[in-house]
Amino acid sequence: MNCNQVGTCDALKGLCTCPAGWRGFNCVDPMKRYCTHKYRDAGFEVPLVPANLSAGVGGPHMNMFPRGHCGGFCDYNTAGCYCPSNTTYGRVPAPLDAPPGAPPVKQGRPMFQYCQPNKMPDGSDTVWGTVDPEELYGPDGWCIADAPKLQCLCYLDGWQGPTCEERVEMFCLNQCNGRGECVHGYCKCHKGWHGIDCAHRSADVDDSSPSLVEERPWIQDFMHTPAAQDFLPGATRKRPLIYVYDLPSDYSTLMLQYRHGVDSCVPRYFGTGNSTLHSIEWVYMLETGFVEMLLQSEHRTLDPEEADFFYVPVFSSCFTHPVRDTADSLREFFYHVSMNRAQGAINMVLEAYHWIQSHHPYWDRRGGRDHIWLFTHDEGTCWAPAAIKNSIILGHWGRMDANHTSNTAYGHDNYSQDYQHPQFDPEGFQKKMAPWLPCYDPQKDLVMPLQKRPDHYHLSPLLGGATRERAWLAFHRGRVQFELPQYSRGIRQRVAKAAEEGRWREKHSMLVGEREDVEGDYSELLASSVFCLVMPGDGWSARMDDAMLHGCLPVIIMDEVHVSYESVVDISQFAIRVPEADADKLPEILLAVSGERREEMQRALARVWNRYAYSGYRAYKPRFLELQAQHAAARGDNGTAAQNLVLGQPSTASRLAPSLPEAVPDLNPGADDAFTTAMAWLYSRIPDTR
């Protein structure tokens, strides 16, 4: 049935990959994601009146957070909320007799979390809304006026401008190679092309058909597929060769279509005029970023028979947040049988595992040892299902103790909380996991650096920035959360209390606190500190990578936990480990490190820092080079002219190390960066998987 005209046909397997709103082997079965209209708090459901405000479409569904509520028109494919159809800028759906997947007659202005009415037409409180209906539906309202007084968020990918009516390109992995239409992260490939990024072609594809690059030149910089070329016999290839599975969209691109937030779940997106913008807030962006790097890499192969490894692109972090925040409305969604976000994500991973095992021979061939999974969520490597524990697990959380329990401060992520359900095994949910095994095994797994955009470390001397006095002995800015003692294993709370009671800032030039306590440019603060504290958060912490990217010596305070690349880089050359029991003794420990030793450590750090930056990523490389050029111009002929610190002169500045490491202005951004380091490590692992 040609995938019901809405999906993409895999010409090799004869299977359809379906977009949001459709499922089944031929994309004929509807899969609706309704907007939610109940409020849930502490396990109690409080029914509300239907959400049919004006001419909107709604229904009685529920949700944990108010993001899924809709006081307008609900798109049942993605749970997107728009202005009602009878308003000037309302959503007008496709006619009932339109072909499947037809676009709406009128897109309509979006109504998101903070653009929901706080009153019903009868004046009663909606509970979930925050905006006076007059600001939405009045003469100057968002849904009525040409120039409304209220500015709602353009939360959907592909729409920009003051009123969210400027059409721009949407994010898709590898931008569908220019061989398909990008629809909120899903590639609807042109005839003869298929795959997660339309890189695979059938034998009778019409190569004369033009690529979309000719009409959309702005996607050119985000398309690169060396694996698609015809290699001559005996051609030299870059190993390891990695085959990226083309899974059903349910486990990957469907999550991108369901995301509410243009910069959620993705490392980049298109802004006004199709300019390139880098995501800032979503900390789990390596989940999609690493896949895109693989797809664009010379290590990718389109032939599974020659692959050294098999990568499984499951977007469990995107599912966990933000998609799961509104997923209770997915009545027919197969992750629904879960009591919290971690369990839903485990079900998702297990579904993907069973699909691979039933559709391909490669898992059983080596028991999954040559398969790669990535878990970027807070404690993701800990709740990885037992069924895939033979595989290579990439993640950010290097916890190594066995028989572990969750340390999360948030109940909806607690993987140790067991539940009974008719669809679970009689022993309960825990049987699906392997808590008796460590979350991370340094012999076969790898702790990956977080993906940080170049502007995150824009003032780093290692990027060529002007060297500045490292005037602060130690630095840490981040959440403490005294009200949640289990957060950070209690380490951050203990250090913050000791810093306040011991007056570390005044006595020792040590900055420790939350954002309101430690103000200033984060990059400048890191580049102005000798030591940077690395303590856990709700699982992993980004502080190791922040320190490395700024030439700040890491001080690691978490027992039995590996930090990024600790199994492949000798961090003892530039980092200090402090037992959790000695956390309140930091001043004496750090002051005991001689100036000569500090300089030695800083030089060692400078030799490996780029292994913690994804500087070769095609979306980041231009900005990386641009910052290098700007810093070079600012330095002039002085090379490393010092820059005064604007944060105040601490009392111990004269006792601290000089401004090291020096600038590295000519670094090739793709040389030995985080991605190539992971590839080199995987190459070394090939014999162990056979």
User: Domain of 627: which CATH number?
Assistant: 3.40.50
Residue ranges in 553-654 assigned as alpha helix (H): 586-591, 595-608, 621-635
Per-residue confidence (pLDDT) for residue 281, from 0 to 100 = 83
Per-residue confidence (pLDDT) for residue 155, from 0 to 100 = 87
Per-residue confidence (pLDDT) for residue 424, from 0 to 100 = 62
Per-residue confidence (pLDDT) for residue 64, from 0 to 100 = 36
Residue type, 312: V
- Measured in degrees and rounded to the nearest 5, phi and psi for residue 653 equal -55, -40
70 in a structural domain: no
Name residues whose C-beta falls within 8 Å of residue 7's C-beta, 6 or more positions apart in sequence.
Answer: 16, 17, 18, 19, 22, 26, 27, 188
Are the C-beta atoms of 494 and 662 separated by less than 8 Å? no
Per-residue confidence (pLDDT) for residue 248, from 0 to 100 = 92
24 in a structural domain: no
The whole-angstrom separation of Cα 218 and Cα 95 is 33
527-579 residue pLDDT tens: 999 999 999 999 999 999 999 999 999 999 999 999 999 999 999 999 999 99
Integer CA distances (angstroms), 520 to 87, 528, 617, 651, in order: 45, 11, 28, 19
**Hey, what's the torsion of the CAs at 448, 450, 451, 452, to 10 degrees?**
-140
The whole-angstrom separation of Cα 416 and Cα 404 is 9
Half-sphere exposure of 155 (CA within 13 A, CB side): 23
198 in a structural domain: no
Furthest CA-CA distance within the chain: 78
Q: Are strands 200-201 and 193-194 parallel, antiparallel or unpaired?
A: antiparallel
647 in a structural domain: yes
Q: Is the peptide bond before 117 cis (omega within 30 degrees of 0)?
A: no
The whole-angstrom separation of Cα 578 and Cα 534 is 10
494 in a structural domain: yes
Half-sphere exposure of 260 (CA within 13 A, CB side): 29
186 in a structural domain: no
DSSP secondary structure letters along 433-449: S-TTS-S--TTT-EEPP
The whole-angstrom separation of Cα 365 and Cα 354 is 15
Are the C-beta atoms of 192 and 201 separated by less than 8 Å? yes
Per-residue confidence (pLDDT) for residue 46, from 0 to 100 = 29
558 in a structural domain: yes
The whole-angstrom separation of Cα 494 and Cα 488 is 10
126 in a structural domain: no
Per-residue confidence (pLDDT) for residue 214, from 0 to 100 = 85
Per-residue confidence (pLDDT) for residue 661, from 0 to 100 = 63
Smallest Cα–Cα separation from 606: which of 452, 463, 459, 453? 463
Positions in the chain whose pLDDT score sits under 70: 36-68, 206-209, 325-339, 420-428, 637-666
Secondary structure class of 137 (helix, strand, coil): helix
The whole-angstrom separation of Cα 574 and Cα 591 is 16
* Number of domains into which the chain is organized: 1
